[in-house]
Structure 1
């Protein structure tokens, strides 16, 4: 009698343990966000906000993991099998690459507001305190003897935006043409003593290694530099024209369907447009899409004339092969550097 009771108790205990483990597993999930190099600080602040929101809404604990590097390196890794639930990049051409591979929906830009870009930025000049070379606008950074630090335009979104910002500026000048723009960008690249591996590597080169007279980077990077190195170490210069930078996000369909994390991935990206997500963008010096918040933070976002990849270059679908694919204008210029 006692033996039968003990056996029954053990079976019941085992069943309850299995049920508990199954319940625990169902109450947890994990997402991998594969992103570009300088986004790490933004998502370091954003992820706890979303985890708190998701826990309150669903009772589920969600683990969020990050991967950061140069944008093109990241999307190649995803294409090669890195199981990202979502990608949060800094230019559409990288997400388009994943769409061509069948990993991301071709209409990803229509699946979220504002062309799937929850915030914007622009390219600015970060110069040493006192601006010893008196760098005020694009013509100043192409002068002989000025060292320009930027990431590699072939491999990074940061570098491509810098290249296109200079090209677009040249086009907008009196008599501007594709020929004058190519000559202008050629002079810019000749002033680069090296190409950094990514945006954060460019910052390290400029701030820690003390190489270069000017770092060209996202406006948001200036505040991150201030947090790490202090505001007395540099100044930010806004050129007369720059490029509007957008940051598209997308769900990696094949991964979320395999893992069963589509609901979580959708919510994770949707939350970028929430009041808390937009506030976090502004606090990380990214220009929010929320017009009221943009007005609230107007002091840290001075007005600047910008052009877009779409209106100046016909979109990334044209700009990328023209300028950055093998044999494009970047290669033609760089061979002559």
Structure 2
């Protein structure tokens, strides 16, 4: 009889504990600070794999999306964030980092993930801008007052000028930098020879590269080195310099006459989003990046909006160089990867001094 009474008492205690726990979870205001919190089964974690340049803007954008999503669905979304050089981030995702969303420097890095079978939808059709969420330009940054009088790419070929840009093996930003200089060489060849001349453009790129101090892992790493005192001129994204200037860092921006328009994509990674059960929130986040609200925030951090309305509001902040071109001027990414960045491509010939 004692055994039976003891068993019944224990069962009653367990039942009371479980009922109290359920009541506590469902009671409004049970979270910290007296705020209502969603049940743990309703919460969702979204894993973001992004290139390093968007980190500052995302510090503002992620909480804004979190609030919108909570108001719309009642669901609390939290973020796991990784910021790396774009090429490094793409390789990490292909190698097993289970990001739900990739926000990278260029479409070829998204293509790597797609070719690995992790993206199965037509990501370029995910928005009205070919899957792109931001634009920028490749520009030059000098020290305050532009003491060397840098005005255009040709100034980077002068003796004694120390140049910084990152390594295209790891950095998508570096590819944009090199594309800009090479494309400017093609533009010069058209003026002087009446045609695009790859040999001329290669020579021009090589003359700039001869003055490069170091090839850092990412654009952010190059910027850190420059601010530490390395080099005279940094080749980088316009948005990076605008953001640093807004933070009080004394850069001078030099926009070359001939330079390339950068386009940066975002995509849901189907295999991971489906595995994690995050497809709905992942798609909503990518869509959010194209909204006027998010585009205005991105413009505040120096990115050129893809949304036409927000671009009309903000375009007076951004110079429009006379010789602006896009990746199509170089033949598109497939041709660029083959001609410039294959094992025997122009970039590696320049790197080897050939």
TM-score, normalised via structure 1 length = 0.92
What CA deviation, in whole Å up to 9, does each residue of 1:170-196 have, x standing for no partner?
A: 111212410100000111111101111
What CA deviation, in whole Å up to 9, does each residue of 1:99-147 have, x standing for no partner?
A: 1100113621112220111120011111111111111111111222211
Contact 1:49–1:276 (CA<8 Å) still a contact in 2?
no
Report 1:184-223 matches (<5 A): 184-208=204-228, 210-223=229-242
Contact 2:121–2:270 (CA<8 Å) still a contact in 1?
no
**How far 1:218 sits from its partner (Å)?**
0.6
Moved over 6 A (4+): 18-23
Deviates more, 1:295-304 or 1:236-245: 295-304
CA distance in 2, matches of 1:215, 1:77: 27
1:256 to 273, 279, 284: 273
Contact 2:87–2:170 (CA<8 Å) still a contact in 1?
yes
**How far 1:302 sits from its partner (Å)?**
1.8
CA distance in 1, matches of 2:184, 2:121: 31
In the other structure, the counterpart of 1:146 is 161
3-state SS of 2:319 partner: coil
3-state SS of 2:234 partner: strand
CA distance in 2, matches of 1:84, 1:19: 35
Q: Is 2:29 the partner of 1:10? A: no
Report 1:92-107 matches (<5 A): 92-105=107-120, 107=122
Contact 2:305–2:311 (CA<8 Å) still a contact in 1?
yes
**How far 1:202 sits from its partner (Å)?**
0.6
Unaligned runs of 5+ in 2: 27-37
2:183 to 147, 151, 168: 168
2:262 to 224, 238, 245: 245
* Pair member with larger Rg: 2
CA distance in 1, matches of 2:264, 2:22: 43
Unaligned runs of 5+ in 1: none
